[in-house]
């Protein structure tokens, strides 16, 4: 009967050793266990032994054997494959081999040690209960951080963010995004709303600002802000609502929506004025409400400027076209930067105008006049401007005069922004002073 090598394993060897005769046992014990010949253990049914040239060896399970080989003549001597040093080990252990790696080959020892640590049963990580005081505190801090920095809530699912929190508080178990959205955020909103409501109760008169706007996803919203002065003449500003406002933006629909918000916050009896932009539908909505209405001062300034500069729109269009080209085209950007280097000027991009920044666009355009002229003199640059082909197409003197005209308007707008809204400030001041005077004289 023949035997396959793959059927021979050390557990089988030990079991067969216990069933051999005393003579064979005596013979086998005279040799080390890891070099017992299969011929001394197994015999065929006819009684003849099975000859094996290769001794049966125990499987080397330690990761240290990746870097050592046993001496063929002496199993207690091992040769390091890295430095060829011969290491003597005692018994069947690998402690001496690991010690050699730790002293002479630290990187390899770390690999072996990591493998040993992973093979050991890991202790179960004990996390803080989600409703513990410490866990609630950390969860609230995370939620406030995401809100104040305008970060998406799904950031709590980021592995990098989880690793950061783990290193700060290893016992903290990060809740899911759903938990943050529907429990933590809602609780924080209710807490904040209660505080704001308590503060609004102390106001003598509240001025409201509101505006309708559309997001980049083409979703319409209406935002309502409340302002008032405290008894210490400190300005308080709170955003009460930013809610979806779909459908037609008619005056009646907007007025109804605003009145619902005022009633929800219980401030209808405290409102002294409503400030809106100067769009017809919004102004008409404000007039339908039983409060004094005002148009936005900054918006009025902007409308006045826009109406005036329409008389010289050709120059403005020319400037805007060059600005857009240098900001969106790699060629335009590189050419402008190259000319700024030649003039030893700092690299400054041209400014595109939005609602109130036309002054800043023209100001930067005049400041970079020499670099822009140099760019326009290059064929590759100027031909990209399509219908604008010559330097003479721009009247620099007109732009410089327009800049001087716009400067007072820019100063007025900036002053208004620094003191919030002058009209609101005066109205609230009068109400607060009236309350103080009444309390004094009565």
- Average pLDDT, consecutive stretches of 10 residues, N- to C-terminus, the chain (442 residues): 43 42 41 42 44 51 79 84 85 82 84 66 70 91 93 93 90 92 92 93 92 85 92 89 86 92 93 88 89 81 74 80 88 89 90 75 90 84 64 75 81 61 51 48 40
Sequence-ordered list of residues with C-beta below 8 angstroms from that of 404, at least 6 positions apart, any chain: none
The pTM of the full predicted model, rounded to 2 decimals, is: 0.54
If 0-12 CB within 10 Å is exposed, 13-18 middle and 19+ buried, where does residue 211 land? middle
CB 350 within 8 A of CB 322: yes
Cβ proximity of 6 and 18 under 8 Å: no
CA 413/CA 329 separation, integer angstroms: 32
Residue pair 393/361 in contact (Cβ under 8 Å)? The answer is no
Contact 66, 56 (CB under 8 A): no
| Pairwise CA distance, residues 409 & 299, whole Å | 12
How far is 212 from 220, CA to CA, in rounded Å?
7
Classify domain 201-296 by CATH number.
3.30.420.40
The answer to whether the beta carbons of residues 281 and 254 sit under 8 Å apart is yes
pLDDT of residue 416: 57
Which helix (H) or strand (E) covers residue 280, if one does?
Answer: helix 280-288
* pLDDT at site 431: 52
Q: 91: left (phi > 0), else alpha (psi -120 to 50), else beta?
A: left
Quick one: tokens of 43? 């015999």
- Residue 87 is predicted with a pLDDT of 85
Domain locations in the chain as residue ranges: 1-59, 63-119, 133-194, 201-296, 307-418
CA contacts within 13 A on the Cβ side of 387: 4
pLDDT at site 274 = 92
Q: What span, in angstroms and rounded, lies between the C-alpha atoms of 33 and 98? A: 23
Please, are residues 361 and 351 in contact by the beta-carbon 8 Å criterion?
yes
Cα–Cα dist 440/442, whole Å: 6
Separation in Å, CA 323 to CA 235, 261, 385, 397, 406: 39, 43, 11, 18, 19
- Answer whether 277's CB lies under 8 Å from 296's CB: yes
pLDDT at residue number 27 = 41
């Amino acid at each position: 009967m023949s035997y396959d090598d793959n059927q021979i394993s050390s557990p089988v060897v030990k079991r067969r050793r216990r069933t051999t005769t005393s003579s064979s046992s005596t013979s086998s014990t005279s040799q080390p266990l890891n070099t017992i010949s299969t011929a001394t253990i197994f015999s065929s049914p006819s009684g003849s032994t099975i000859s094996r040239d290769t001794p049966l060896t125990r499987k080397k399970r330690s990761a240290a054997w990746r870097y050592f080989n046993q001496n063929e003549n002496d199993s207690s001597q091992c040769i390091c494959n890295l430095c060829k040093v011969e290491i003597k080990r005692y018994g069947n252990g690998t402690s001496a081999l690991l010690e050699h790696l730790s002293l002479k080959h630290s990187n390899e020892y770390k690999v072996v040690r990591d493998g040993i640590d992973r093979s050991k049963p890991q202790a179960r990580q004990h996390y803080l209960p989600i409703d513990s005081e410490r866990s609630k505190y950390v969860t609230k801090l995370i939620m406030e951080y995401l809100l104040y920095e305008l970060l998406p809530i799904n950031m709590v699912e980021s592995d990098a963010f989880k690793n950061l929190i783990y290193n700060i508080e290893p016992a903290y178990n990060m809740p899911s995004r759903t938990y943050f959205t529907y429990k933590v955020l809602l609780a924080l909103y209710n807490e904040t709303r209660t505080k704001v409501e308590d503060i609004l109760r102390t106001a003598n008169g509240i001025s409201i600002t509101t505006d309708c706007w559309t997001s980049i996803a083409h979703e319409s919203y209406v935002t309502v802000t409340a302002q008032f002065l405290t008894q210490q003449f400190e300005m308080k500003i709170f955003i009460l609502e930013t809610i979806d406002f779909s459908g037609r933006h008619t005056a009646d629909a907007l007025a109804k929506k605003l009145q619902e918000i005022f009633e929800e916050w219980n401030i209808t009896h405290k409102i002294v004025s409503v400030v809106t932009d100067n769009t017809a539908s919004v102004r008409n909505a404000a007039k339908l409400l039983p409060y004094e209405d005002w148009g936005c001062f900054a918006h009025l300034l902007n409308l006045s400027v826009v109406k005036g500069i329409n008389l010289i729109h050709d120059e403005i269009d020319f400037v805007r076209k060059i600005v857009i080209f240098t900001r969106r085209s790699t060629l335009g950007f590189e050419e402008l930067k190259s000319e700024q280097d030649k003039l030893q000027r700092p690299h400054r991009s041209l400014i595109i105008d939005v609602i109130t920044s036309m002054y800043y666009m023209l100001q930067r355009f005049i400041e970079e006049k020499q670099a822009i002229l140099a760019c326009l003199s290059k064929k590759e640059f100027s031909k990209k401007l399509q219908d604008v082909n010559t330097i003479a197409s721009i009247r620099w003197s007109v732009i410089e005069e327009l800049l001087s005209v716009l400067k007072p308007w820019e100063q007025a707008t900036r002053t208004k922004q620094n003191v919030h809204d002058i009209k609101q400030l005066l109205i609230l001041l009068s109400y607060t002073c009236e309350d103080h005077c009444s309390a004094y004289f009565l």
